[in-house]
Amino acid sequence: MNLTACLLLSAALFSIGAYGLVTRRNMIAALMSLELMVNAALINFIAFARFGGTHAGQGDAQAGSLFALFAVAVTAAEMALALAIVVAVHRQRRHLDIRELDGLHG
Amino acid sequence: MTLAEFTPLLPDLLLLALALAVLKIDLWSEDGEAGFHLTWIGLAGLALLLAFGSRSDAVFADYHITAASRVWKLLFTLATLATVFLSRPYFRAGGNARGTLAKSGAFFGLLLLCMQGMFALVSAGNLIVFYLGLELATMPIYALAAYQPRDADSAEAGSKYVLMGGFSSALTLFGISFLYGATGSLGFPALEAAVRAAPADPALWGGIFFLLGGLGFKLAMAPLHMWAPDVYQGAPTPVMAFLSVASKAAAVAALATLFLSPLNAVRPDLAPCFAAAAVLSMVAGNLGAMRQKDLRRFVAYSSVAQVGYMLLAMLGEGDGSRAALVYNLVTYGVTGFALYFIMGVIGKEGPETMSGLRGLSRRHPGLAVLLVLCMFSLAGVPPLAGFLGKFMLFSAAAAEGHYLLVGIAVANAVVSFYYYMLVVKEAYIAPPGEAAAIRLRPLQIMVLWGLGLALLVLGVCPAPADWLARAAGN
Amino acid sequence: MTEYIIIGVFALVGILFAGAAMVFSRLAAPRFPDVGKKLNSYESGEDAIGSARIQFKIGYYLFALVFLVFDVEAVFLFPVLGVLRSAGSATASGSILSPLFVWCELLLFIAILAFALFYAWKKKVLEWE
């Protein structure tokens, strides 16, 4: 396991997430894709904290781990909020298909 | 560390206390009256404290209280205060044709929490605080956008905003992770030193582009603006007002916080990027705004164009740019809120659309005049506030020699005059049939007069601009 | 560059290995398309009743939401306690964090969380009717 492997993994996760967000029609699936993208960033943080980044000299390894921790909490809150909105959409429309969400237009 | 050393932190702590107090009052008060009064009195007090209170700078580990951050905070506070006043009729039965909003305590609580995030954002001395501030400044708005009860459009706006906002925060987070990898640190001073030492690091540039993408979404800068029209249209009008002024100011502050200080060394290399985004935003905003019938959607496109003008300042040099940004946001806020209050007034009986403005000159001549002032100011016609705001932005870019861009911006401003005049035209078309006179509430009269005067004063009197420039320039 | 090559080779070998196994089993395995018996429950397994897609009560969701927030927040107490020991020495940005300051921050943090719980409680999130 080295830095490059971790970065490749996170890049793959991020791309899968972005692809899923664009292509999935169900809103919950889109949120899951979003979670993948965030997790890619978390892997980056931990990898940089563990192996050191591309910079010269001593980095602050604690900061990266700590950021990952904060990001997990923030994402949890964000997803909770997103799911609440999903419930609201479902109540109004009885479906969660993103492409059918076209009530707003100019 | 003594207690006296905490006085610079007082506004932030008071805001937290205010947010919790408003939420607490909400648990007992039935009609939400107490929450409304507590919120506006608290916010007014906070604004006074920020304007006239402690002027000393302070550093609390990674939370920096500076003169510039105080100016931003004052701006956020005033924008939130105006939003609170604007939302007043929307919570009253029969106050708005679209339906009555409920649960005002939670609404104000969310607004205040959002403001807390903006406060953290401009005080950040570290990417963690920056990220947390940015997220806290965005997340309550997801809920607020979906606040209109039993309204499919509002739920749709919320869902679109939460997906797009989530995407943008994922981009931001991914970008920050690369910045961390490239510099090995999250603190702004260390970041700045590392960027200066190795400005060509590919990891750094990867980080910067992701970060710029994420912030671009938040800012609704073209080509990342497509969420804005839908969200603005679907959200309740007070939330749209908050989005277009306070939230936009927060995104601009985020951009300025990062790219005018720790990442300042790479900003000249990013100039083509900012220039392209500026031109795209102006064109996309202006072309989009021309075709709109719904006023909220119209505001969205017009604000995209405003972002284009504001991005010009990112090409200029540090202090002047920051002052120009703040001043433009102030003038945009004043103008915008005058328009939103007029929308609130016509929204009482009819839809908040262009045709809803019809007959305004008959129903209330004063309001029609104010609407004309607003539109002139948005278009940047000389004696009004919007002109001076635009002038400062353009001169910040011109000082760095970007004459072509300034030319394009001026051309766009002229084009925008056309569709702003379309709005004015609607107000002076007489509808068939009898037009009932509009009766305003005392609060509305007071606020509308205040905003109208500010529109004139900020345009002709350079003193506030000087003061802001000095304060924001640090 | 060699790292990339190693990863490429690794991925290739992985795909070939898994692919070969799948292709081989497809070729070699006998096939009995007898659906009825195959779907029976095995040994003492229970027969499934109804569909797996049932509607949950919204109350579960609210509970999970409150739990989720507090669950994640607990994680923050540990780093703060870690800092508490070293508080009193100068930090990177030059300011000195007194243990009392850190302690007050911790209390403030917990107080805000406690308020959130109180708010949820008063809003009847914790009631199960």
Domain count, chain A: 1
Per-residue exposure over B123-162, b if at least 16 CB sit within 10 Å of its own CB, e if not: bbbbbbbbbbbbbbbbbbbbbbbbbbeebbbbbbbbbbbb
Task: State which amino acid sits at residue C38.
Answer: K
Q: Which of A44, A56, A89 minimises the CB distance to B174? A: A44
What angle, 0 to 180 degrees and rounded to 10, lies between the N-to-C axes of helices B385-399 and B442-460?
Answer: 40
Question: Stretch B144-170: mean pLDDT, rounded?
Answer: 92
Other CB atoms within 10 Å distance of the CB of residue A24: 15
Q: Is the pLDDT of residue B349 over 80?
A: yes
Q: Which chains does chain C touch, 3 or more C-beta pairs < 8 A? A: A, B
* % chain B with pLDDT above 90: 49
In this predicted structure, what is the pLDDT of residue B308?
92
Mean pLDDT (whole number) for B113-134? 94
Whether B195 shows a pLDDT value over 60: the answer reads yes
Cα distance from C10 to chain B (closest Cα, Å)? 25
Do A90 and A102 touch, CB atoms closer than 8 A? no
The subunits that touch chain B, with at least 3 C-beta pairs less than 8 Å apart, are A, C
Q: What is the DSSP letter of B264?
A: G
Both tokens of B357, joined, read: 């403005």
Instruction: Extract the tokens encoding A54.
Output: 């591309």
- Tell me, what's the pLDDT at C79? 75
Crossing angle of the two packed helices B104-123 and B127-145, in degrees rounded to 10: 160
Cα separation, B232 vs B154, in Å, equals 9
Q: Residues in chain B, how many?
A: 474
Distance CA B98, CA B94 (A): 9
Q: Which tens digits make up the pLDDT trace of A34-45?
A: 999 999 999 999
Q: Average pLDDT of chain A?
A: 88
Cβ distance of C101 and B16 shorter than 8 Å: no
**CB distance B70 to B46 below 8 Å:** no
CB hemisphere CA count around B334 (13 angstroms): 26
What is the Cα–Cα distance from C42 to B187, expressed in whole angstroms? 59
Query: Using omega within 30 degrees of 0 as the cis cutoff, is the peptide bond preceding B238 cis?
Result: no
C82 in A contact zone (CB under 8 Å): no
Residue A85 lies in a domain: yes
- Chain B positions touching C112 (Cβ under 8 A) are 16, 20
Residue B300 scores a pLDDT above 70:
yes
Q: What mean pLDDT comes out for the span B279-294?
A: 92
Measured between beta carbons, which residues in chain C are less than 8 angstroms from residue A8? 7
Q: How confident is the model at residue B374 (pLDDT cuts 50, 70, 90)?
A: very high
Chain C residue closest to A6 (CA)? C7
> Which chains does A contact via 3+ CB–CB distances below 8 A?
B, C
**How many angstroms away from the CA of B98 is the closest CA of chain C?**
27
Per-residue b or e along B211-229, where b marks 16 or more CB atoms closer than 10 Å to that residue's CB: bbbbbbbbbbbbebbbbbb
Nearest chain A residue to B154, by CA: A89
C103 forms beta bridges with none
**pLDDT at residue C95, rounded to an integer:** 52
pLDDT of residue B191: 87
Q: What is the DSSP letter of B435?
A: -
> Which pLDDT belongs to residue B434?
66
Mean of pLDDT over chain B: 89
Residue A106: inside a domain, yes or no?
Answer: no
Contact A36, A13 (CB under 8 A): yes
Q: Is the Cβ of B457 closer than 8 Å to some Cβ of chain A? A: no
**Residue B382: what pLDDT?**
82
Task: Return d(Cα B231, Cα B254) in angstroms, integer.
Answer: 21
Cβ neighbors of B312 (< 8 A, separation 6 or more) are: B274, B278, B393, B394, B396, B397, B402, B405, B406, B409
Determine the Cα–Cα distance for residues A88 and B161; give it in Å rounded to an integer. 14
Contact C76 A83 (CB under 8 A): no
Nearest residue to B97 via CA among B302, B295, B298, B300: B295
Which DSSP helix (H) or strand (E) runs through B51?
Answer: helix B33-52
Give the Å distances, CA to CA, from A68 to A65, B341, B370: 5, 42, 50
Distance separating alpha carbons of residues B347 and B349, to the nearest angstrom:
5
Q: Do B166 and A82 touch (CB under 8 A)?
A: yes
**Who among C97, C112, C119 is closest to B61 (CB)?**
C97
Burial group, residue C12, by CB count within 10 angstroms (0-12, 13-18, 19+): exposed
State which residue of chain A sits closest to B210, comparing Cα positions. Answer: A41
**Residue C47 burial (CB < 10 Å; 0-12/13-18/19+)?**
exposed
CB B145 within 8 A of CB A88: no
Q: Flag whether pLDDT at A57 surpasses 70.
A: no
When computed from its CA atoms, the radius of gyration of chain A, rounded to whole angstroms, is: 18
Phi first, then psi: give them for residue C90, nearest 5 degrees.
Answer: -70, 140
Ranges of each domain in chain C: 2-47, 58-122
Judge whether B419 is closer than 8 Å to chain A, CB to CB. Answer: no
B139 to chain A, any CB pair closer than 8 A? The answer is yes
Q: What is chain B's alpha carbon radius of gyration, rounded to the nearest angstrom? A: 21
Q: What pLDDT band is residue B453 in, cutting at 50, 70 and 90?
A: very high
**Secondary structure (DSSP) of B369-388:** HHHHHHHHHHHT-TTSHHHH
Residue C92 has pLDDT above 70, yes or no: no
Q: pTM for the full model?
A: 0.88
CATH of the domain at A96: 1.10.287.3510
Average the pLDDT over C96-115 and give the result.
81
| Domain, as residue range, for A86 | 3-100
The residues, ordered by sequence, that sit 6+ positions from B118 with a Cβ below 8 Å of its Cβ are: B72, B73, B76, B133, B137, B246, B249, B250, B253
Q: Are B183 and B194 in contact (CB under 8 A)?
A: yes
Comparing CB atoms, the residue among B23, B27, B187 nearest residue C93 is B187
The strand pairing partners of B353, in sequence order, are B294
> Considering only alpha carbons, which residue of chain A is nearest residue C66?
A80
Three-state secondary structure call for residue C128: coil
pLDDT (tens digit, 9 = 90+) per residue, B209-239?
999 999 999 999 988 898 999 999 999 999 9
Q: Which residues of C touch A90 (CB under 8 A)?
A: none
- Structure tokens given for B145: 């956008």
Q: Enter the tokens of residue A40.
A: 């890619």
Mean pLDDT in residue range B345-367: 86
In this predicted model, what pLDDT tens digit does every residue of B62-113 receive, in sequence order? 888 988 889 899 999 999 999 999 999 999 888 888 888 888 889 999 999 9
* A55 to B194: CB separation less than 8 angstroms, yes or no: yes
Q: Could you give the CA distance from residue C96 to residue C122 in angstroms, rounded to a whole number?
A: 40
Does the beta-carbon distance from B166 to A106 stay under 8 Å? no
Query: Any chain B CB within 8 A of the CB of C94?
Result: yes
**Using one digit for the tens of pLDDT, what is the confidence trace for B398-416?**
888 889 999 999 999 999 9
Provide the number of CB pairs (under 8 Å) joining chain B to chain C. Answer: 28
Residue located via tokens 């107080």: C111
Residue C99 CB coordination number (10 Å): 13
